[in-house]
Structure 1
Amino acid sequence: MKKTLLLFTFFMIAVGFAQNDEAYVDSIVAQKMAELELQQNPEYFFRKDYCDGNIQMFTMPDGKWCTSTSTYYSVYVFWKEDDKIMKLQKFDNCGSFKPISLGISKDMSKVLKNKNALKIGEVKPYEGEKVDTNAFGNMSVSSCHKEYKFAFGRDVFEKSFKEYDLGNDSKYKNVNAEHNNSLELIALDKEISELVKKFDENGKFFRED
């Protein structure tokens, strides 16, 4: 086992190997946000996705390897080009991807127009309808998170939640599931997830050189 690990280490050194943490991801996203702030009427938002302990490794365009240091973070930044076109750019532990132009769907347009609902709506934590006195071993708590930041001119606010809070994956029904899934934030989240899934499956995310 030690020999295998040693050979793997030498291999990574030979081909080139990079490891980047959350601070790196936050820094390149902050650069993009600073760029967007220079627009005359800045209107943008991003979603950060991560699952604690999920490590991913990639082969970069130059043939080198890159991996997340401990947890893999992906960030999707959206900004409006005009009333019909929006841009999407992905960032992760290994750098940035090329921006993608997409039409603003009716559902997304509706949600983004209701800015106050996005701002005041709060995802409530998972709460079982009963208290299990012998809960040990009966619950499977998800460690996957979503973090949002919205910037609509001078109105800037953040939202976050665990995917676990939206479902009924425990022994007892989540009494907050209906409320959580009725929020404009979650409607937007589902729309983004569908977009990301489609682009991933169709190979639309290309890393920048």
Structure 2
Amino acid sequence: MKKSLLLFTCIFTAIGFAQNDEAFVDSLVAQKMAELELQQNPEYFYRKDYCDGNIQMFNLPDGKLCTSKSTYYSVYVFWSEDEDVMKLQKFDNCGSFMPISISRKKTIEKFFKDKQALKQGEIKPYEGEKVDENAYGNMTVNSCHKEYKFVFDGKSFEKSFREFDLTNESKYKNVNAEHNRSLPLVKLDILLSEMFKNMEDSGSLLREK
């Protein structure tokens, strides 16, 4: 066992190994947000995703290995480029990705027409239609979270929720699921999740070297 552990350690030492936590990701995002503030960008926001205890490992462009420390965090920062185009850049425990351009009209334009709706809509916690100590049965509840920060014309607000609050996966129906999924923020979130999945599948997201 000790020989295996020693070999494993030697391999990581030889090829290079990085392990970063949430503070590392937050510092990258804070730097980007500060840059956008200095540029007086009129519209920018980010979405932060994480599932408690989920660990990811990646091969980096320079040949090194990188793994998340404890939990993997991914943050997607959007900012306005002009009236028709927004930029998107991803950050995670292993660094930053190349910025890419997306069409406002084909993606998020309709959600930005009513910014107050994004701000005011409140996501309610999961509530079963009946009270039962065994309401969750044998299901596994993954503690996955979404955090948003929006900055519009110099004014900011933040929103957050658990993915579980949007579902109907327990023994009894979640009475708040329909309300939650009708909110503009959740509709935007669903659209972004689909967008990110398509980018991952197509290989559009490339790490910066």
TM over 0.5: yes
Q: Which residue pairs with 1:15 in the alignment?
A: 15
- Are 2:162 and 1:162 aligned? yes
Q: Which residue pairs with 1:93 in the alignment?
A: 93
Q: Which residue pairs with 1:192 in the alignment?
A: 192
1:18-64 Cα offsets, whole Å, 9 max, x none, are 10000000000000001101223431000000111111111111101
Q: Distance in 1 between matches of 2:43 and 2:74?
A: 21
Q: Which residue pairs with 1:28 in the alignment?
A: 28
Q: How far is the alpha carbon of 1:6 from its aligned partner?
A: 2.5
Q: Distance in 2 between matches of 1:207 and 1:164?
A: 30
TM-score normalised to structure 1 length: 0.95
Does the CA-based 8 Å contact 1:138-1:171 persist in structure 2? Answer: no
Give the 3 Å change call, closer, same or farther, for CA 27–107 of structure 1 in structure 2. Answer: closer
Give the 3 Å change call, closer, same or farther, for CA 15–139 of structure 1 in structure 2. Answer: same
Does the residue aligned with 1:5 lie in a helix, a strand or coil? Answer: helix
Does the CA-based 8 Å contact 2:137-2:171 persist in structure 1? Answer: no
Structure 2: state its 5+ residue gaps. Answer: none
Q: How far is the alpha carbon of 1:70 from its aligned partner?
A: 0.6
Q: Which residue pairs with 1:148 in the alignment?
A: 148
Q: How far is the alpha carbon of 1:154 from its aligned partner?
A: 2.3
State the aligned residue count: 209
1:52-111 Cα offsets, whole Å, 9 max, x none, are 111111111110111101100000000111111010000000000000001113562111
Pairs within 5 Å for 1:111-190:
111-135=111-135, 137-190=137-190
Q: Distance in 2 between matches of 1:179 and 1:136?
A: 21
Q: Distance in 2 between matches of 1:152 and 1:51?
A: 28
Amino acid at match of 1:85: V
Amino acid at match of 2:179: H
- Runs of 4+ aligned structure 1 residues displaced above 6 Å come to none
Q: Which residue pairs with 1:37 in the alignment?
A: 37
Q: Distance in 1 between matches of 2:129 and 2:135?
A: 13
1:177-197 Cα offsets, whole Å, 9 max, x none, are 000000000111011111101
Structure 1: state its 5+ residue gaps. Answer: none
TM-score normalised to structure 2 length: 0.95
Pairs within 5 Å for 1:47-58:
47-58=47-58
Does the residue aligned with 1:44 lie in a helix, a strand or coil? Answer: strand
